[in-house]
Amino acid sequence: MLINVNSLNYTANPLVNSVLDCFLEVPVLKNLDSLLDDFSSLSGCPCLFMDFKNRYVHGNDCKAIALLDSELARSSNNLFADILKIKSVREDESVELVYGKHARGVFMPVKIKEVVLGYFVYGQFIEKTDPLALKIEQGIRLTNEEKEDAKLLKILSREEIEANIYKSIRFVKGISSQFEMNYDLKNEIRKNQETANQLRVQKTFFENLFENSPEAIVILDNEDKVIQANQEFLRLFEYTQEEITLKKINDLIVPERFKDEGASATKDASVGQLIDMTTIRQTKTGKQIHVQVLGKPIVLDNDQLAVYGIYRNLTQQVWNQKREQIIHRISEILNSSINSVEMINKIGEELVQIVGAGRLFLELIAPDGQSLNSFTENNEAFKAIRYSESLSSAVIREKRMFYLDDNQINDMILSNKLSLVITPKSWLGIPLIAEERVLGVFGVAGFVEGSEMNLESIKLLELLSVQLAAGVVKKAKDNELRMLQRSMEQSPASIVITDLNGNIEYVNPKFCEVTGYSLEEAIGKNPRILKSGATPDETYREMWDTVLSGGEWQGELLNLKKNKELYWERVNLSAMKDEFGKITHIVAIKEDITEAKYFEKELLESKNRAEESDRLKSAFLANMSHELRTPLNAVIGFSNLCDDSLSMTEILEFVGLINKSGNQLLGIIEDILSFTSIESEVFQINEEEFFMFNFIEDVKKISKEKRVQENKERLGLQFKKDENFSRVLVKSDYQRLLQVVTNLIKNAFKFTNEGQVEFGYKVDGGELCIYVKDSGVGINEDKKNIIFDRFRQADDSITRTFGGTGLGLAISKKIMDMLGGTIEVESEPNVGSIFTLRLNCVISKTDNKRESNNTNGMQTSNSPLILVAEDEISNFKLIEAILKRNSYEVVRAENGEEAVEMCKQNPNICLVLMDIRMPVMDGLIATKKIKGFSPNLPIIAQTAYAMDGDENKAIEEGCDDYISKPIRKELLLEKIKALI
């Protein structure tokens, strides 16, 4: 409940005073001012005690009591009565008031026999959410009066206020107990005066024995509260009698981590059990000491009145025993800690009994050398501070230990112009020196009075600082190693480390990703597992000689992945040396440059193509100059000669030559225009349905005209259609297909001087095959791939025998691509060439013979019918010629799949000549399928790959016999005769 004291109705209440008259003789506690001082120091706020007579008692050393005392004193004639009338809504019965203009105070009732004797008050603070606190926090300018108040007011959070209330409750319980004891004592004095006289002698003896005992003794009530302690106890635990009276022993001297143990001992003592144990207890300043504890109940007439405890200091004994253990454990911490934060926290846990209430700190010189990385135990991380914010600057500068008390610290701050956030009461700083270099400062800062350290503890910390310096260096090196390891693990380049024999000891994940080898597969192997065989052995010898001599080798290698895929690597190979300069390992850093190599290759090829294109264009222009000027020369020349002086015979002859040259020019221009239209993508395809007999008639007419134009009337001219079909209906671009055939026939006449030119077509399922065959000069094998390029001819030198633009076959290839077909060439120099056009354009076909049983378009007669499965036309023609001359009927299948279908559909087939190597389905698979549905049909295997074992393999797959190429006519006929 928060109430403004100015709003209270200050009136005296006689009824209240009359109720409390019985307490008039109860004196104020003698040590109350001292207790109030202690509480003021503990809570950080001034406090006082106000009894029902409105008398105020406050501590002698309370520095800021003026505002609290004066404001309350002048607020009312009977403030106690007014506060008593306020009904608190809190369980602890405290009342929170605002007095003056800003200050707050908390009134905690002090009771005797459940009657409020007075109020314990602490105040002179403001809450963080109060207006004045907000103005101070936000830096808003204060009035002079506010400034004066602010000097005396302390800003507390609600949590801090509640914590002080909790402390007040405990404090009030103590003084209430003492008031009640005084009250009871006053009432019992008369009754016990005689008894007291009798016990005075015994009491004097006990007190002398108690006070002068060399053992620390304390007497506790059955609730574990201190009744009395002797001087040795007070000296050992650094308390005064007033500070511990009526305080629970566990709250005074039991460290936090021993609270459960202390509670258990209290419980045992409360039921009369003896206590005998060795443990750790702490002094007022937080120093932890080893003690032997003996506890025994004090019993009178079977009633347990109290418990006395004897504490024997074993610190020195235990210290001697544990000193080496501490050093050993800290050594383990330095080796096992993951980072400096974990390290210093664990060291703090080990040294808690040494540093007492002090706080361990570690301040390392930052990498920039301009600041410190500061860490205090129980923090979560280091924080950067300036040298001017730490006493460590003097230690680092002078490279020696400093142990400073309160006065020396202040002198140090002034002389070095330091700006510390909090000034310690005592400070120990020990330089961490490793390799003659100061790394930082390790030490203890004490912030409470009496937190000085003994000489033994200082010596131990000095010894530990040597270990810690080594640990800091080790941690730094470990961090460097971890960073190096992470960089290697996450490197975009492959990293391989081998011993001097080339055995792999380490690979990073990128190596595994690139090569396909796992870590387990790579370790222990030699890098030669990556050799592709494409790199000369001299390169490897040079590489190893360079590295083993201490040099560095760089180069590019074509290597092989686990899946046999080739890849390029740029490799940097160097030697790893120990501290003596001896080579111990070889490290390779490798970058996959396969894509870069392919890109480089493509750039080079593009450059070559561009240069070749430029050269071809130049050659084409030169050629066009020749090709155009030659007929133009005839046209212009003969035109100029035509005048009245010429006879009609000469004029007709000249006109014929002019016409021929004009047609030649027209053909050149048509080629150029056709190619230009194709390149500019304005070339149109117009499909239509037509019969092949009409197409072949147009071809005949054009062929005869071209023969005359080329002056090749001496050449034979043949036309062959597919004899199996009388009518073949196709769908394509008639004119474009005719243009392609015309170009092929024109070329056939141009490059043929003796023999004949043949045009024909065949139907294979839905595919139309058109061919133009000549007996001309032929084409070299290395020129077959370039004749379809623009501006290219098989002979494009300046001395070539045949003219032309070099566009005809390029145009034909483009047209066939647009028609969805292909153009192929088979040629042999000085023998002739066959150009074949393939189009999947057959709509329907009519057999020449319609027999009752379906023969799938294959003729039958009384002669035996033999199926020749052969993909090469030349091989088929040879076999066909041999068989037909010996009265056999022949049909062809171009692959194994077609052979199987033909055998299924034509029962008249008497024998199969099966080529082993064919596209779509090879001969052995086809044989197996045919034998599956026609086991008695004879099959002779034939192949050009006459390797050992082929015959046996053919027989195993079901073939009845075997013949190798080149086929001998007599042997073939003999084998056929034997099987039919």
DSSP letters along 438-478, please?
A: EEEEEEEEE-STT----HHHHHHHHHHHHHHHHHHHHHHHH
Q: Which CATH superfamily is domain 491-592 in?
A: PAS domain (3.30.450.20)
Instruction: State the pLDDT at residue 361.
Output: 86
Instruction: Give per-residue pLDDT as tens, 430-468.
Output: 898 887 888 889 888 888 776 667 777 788 788 887 877
Residue range 737-765, pLDDT digits in tens: 888 898 899 888 888 988 899 999 999 88
| pLDDT at position 859 over 60 | no
Asked if pLDDT for residue 802 goes beyond 70, the answer is no
Q: Minimum mean pLDDT among 3-17, 342-356, 568-582: which range?
A: 3-17
- The pLDDT of residue 937: 93
* Stronger pLDDT, 600 or 372, i.e. the higher one: 372
Q: Tell me the CA distances in angstroms from 849 to 722, 760, 761, 816, one per residue in order.
A: 13, 21, 19, 32
Q: Are 43 and 36 in contact (CB under 8 A)?
A: no
CA gap 924, 897 in Å, rounded? 11
Per-residue pLDDT at 468? 79
Instruction: Single out the residue of 576, 536, 575 nearest to residue 556, CA to CA.
Output: 536
Contacts of 93 by beta carbon, 8 Å cutoff, 6+ apart = 108, 109
The Cα 247–Cα 173 span in angstroms is: 9
> DSSP letter at 525?
S
- The beta-strand segments (E) located in 707-794 are 716-720, 725-732, 756-764, 767-774
Cis peptide before 297 (omega within 30 of 0): no
Pick 299 or 344 by higher pLDDT.
299
Are the C-beta atoms of 724 and 892 separated by less than 8 Å? no
pLDDT tier at 640, thresholds 50, 70, 90: low
C-alpha to C-alpha distance for 877 and 962, rounded to whole angstroms: 20
Q: Under a CB-based contact definition with an 8 Å cutoff, are residues 833 and 827 in contact?
A: yes
The answer to which of 273-282, 626-635, 969-978 has the lowest mean pLDDT is 626-635
**Residue of 39 and 326 predicted with greater confidence:** 39
Comparing 624 with 360, which gets the higher pLDDT?
Answer: 360
Average pLDDT of the chain to the nearest whole number: 80
The CATH homologous superfamily to which domain 213-313 belongs is PAS domain (3.30.450.20)
Residue 103 contacts residue 45 (beta carbons within 8 Å): no
Kindly tell me if the per-residue pLDDT of 854 is higher than 50. no
pLDDT at 797: 42
Please give the average per-residue pLDDT across 126-144, as a whole number.
Answer: 89
The residue that leads in pLDDT, 67 or 42, is 42
Please give the CATH architecture assigned to the domain spanning 684-843.
2-Layer Sandwich (3.30)
Average pLDDT over residues 782-811: 58
Spell out where 301-447 has E strands. Answer: 303-313, 359-365, 372-376, 383-385, 402-404, 426-434, 437-446
Asked if residues 214 and 311 have their Cβ atoms less than 8 Å apart, the reply is no
pLDDT-wise least confident of 501-515, 534-548, 638-652: 638-652
Note whether 299 and 212 are within 8 A (CB). no
Partnered with residue 592 across adjacent β-strands are 569
- Using the predicted structure, report yes or no on whether residue 72 has a pLDDT greater than 80: no
Question: Tokens standing for 80?
Answer: 């106690």
Cβ pair 475, 509 in contact under 8 A: no
843 in Cβ contact with 959 (< 8 Å): no
Which pLDDT belongs to residue 615? 64
Q: What is the DSSP letter of 115?
A: E
Q: Is the pLDDT of residue 400 over 70?
A: yes
- Given a cut of 70, whether residue 970 has pLDDT beyond it is yes
Dump pLDDT digits (tens) for 515-529: 889 888 889 888 888
Burial class of residue 954 in the structure, from the number of CB atoms within 10 Å of its CB (0-12 exposed, 13-18 middle, 19+ buried):
buried
**What distance in Å separates the CA atoms of residue 916 and residue 962, rounded to the nearest whole number?**
10
Q: How far apart are CA 648 and CA 653, in angstroms?
A: 8
pLDDT of residue 794: 45
Q: Which of 958, 607, 615 is nearest to 786 (CA)?
A: 615
Residues near 649 by beta carbon (within 8 Å), at least 6 away in sequence: none
CA distance to 626, 663, 807, 814, per residue, from 674 (Å): 20, 16, 9, 10
In whole angstroms, what is the distance from residue 806 CA to residue 757 CA? Answer: 21
Look at 153-157, 168-172, 631-635 and tell me which has the smallest mean pLDDT: 631-635
User: Average pLDDT, stretch 375-386?
Assistant: 78
Residue 418 clears pLDDT 70, i.e. is over it: yes
User: How many whole angstroms separate alpha carbon 118 and alpha carbon 600?
Assistant: 98
Q: Which is higher by pLDDT, 4 or 111?
A: 111
Tell me how long the chain is: 980
Is the pLDDT at 27 greater than 60, yes or no?
A: yes
**What pLDDT does 761 receive?**
92
Q: Average pLDDT in the 503-517 region? A: 88
Residue 426: partners with Cβ closer than 8 Å, 6 or more residues away? 358, 403, 404, 405, 406, 409, 445, 446, 451, 452, 453
83/109 Cα distance (integer angstroms):
10
Least confident of 449-453, 487-491, 720-724: 449-453
Range scoring the smallest mean pLDDT among 242-251, 647-656, 737-746, 819-828: 647-656
In the chain, the percentage of residues whose pLDDT exceeds 90 is: 9
- Which of 162-166, 428-432, 506-510, 635-639 bottoms out in mean pLDDT, i.e. has the lowest? 635-639
Kindly report, residue by residue over 556-567, the tens digit of the pLDDT: 888 888 888 888
| Both structure tokens of 812 | 């034909």
Q: What is the predicted pLDDT for the residue at 902?
A: 92
Q: Say if residue 871's pLDDT is above 70.
A: yes
**Model confidence at 667, in pLDDT bands (50, 70, 90)?**
low
Decide if pLDDT at 664 tops 60: no
Cβ-contact 889, 864 below 8 angstroms: yes
Lowest mean pLDDT among 177-186, 485-494, 716-725: 485-494
- CATH says 862-979 is which class? alpha beta
The whole-number average pLDDT for the span 700-708 is 84
Using DSSP, state whether 618 is helix, strand or coil: helix
Q: What is the pLDDT of residue 904?
A: 92
- Reading the block at residue 300, the tokens are 């009178």
Single-letter residue type at 442: F
What pLDDT, on a 0 to 100 scale, did the predictor assign at position 152?
80
DSSP calls for 144-207: HHHHHHHHH-EEE-HHHHHHHHHHHHHHHHHHHHHHHHHHHHHHHHHHHHHHHHHHHHHHHHHH
Domain boundaries, the chain: 2-189, 213-313, 318-486, 491-592, 684-843, 862-979
Choice among 65-74, 218-227, 364-373 with the minimum mean pLDDT: 65-74
Q: Given a cut of 60, is residue 839 above it in pLDDT?
A: yes
- pLDDT exceeds 70 at position 337: no
Contact 930, 909 (CB under 8 A): no
Contact residues for 304 (Cβ-Cβ < 8 A; gap 6+): 222, 270, 272, 297, 298
Whether 2-189 shares its CATH topology with 318-486 is answered: yes
> Rounded CA gap, 126 and 98, in Å?
9
The answer regarding whether domain 2-189 maps to CATH 1.10.3470 reads no
* Strand ranges of the sheet holding 909-915, from the earlier edge strand across to the other edge: 889-893, 865-869, 909-915, 939-943, 961-964
CATH code, 318-486: 3.30.450.40
Q: What is the pTM of this model?
A: 0.32
Nearest to 882 by CA among 977, 946, 958: 977
Residue 277 has pLDDT above 70, yes or no: yes
* pLDDT beyond 60 at 919: yes
CA atoms within 13 A on the CB side of 397: 9
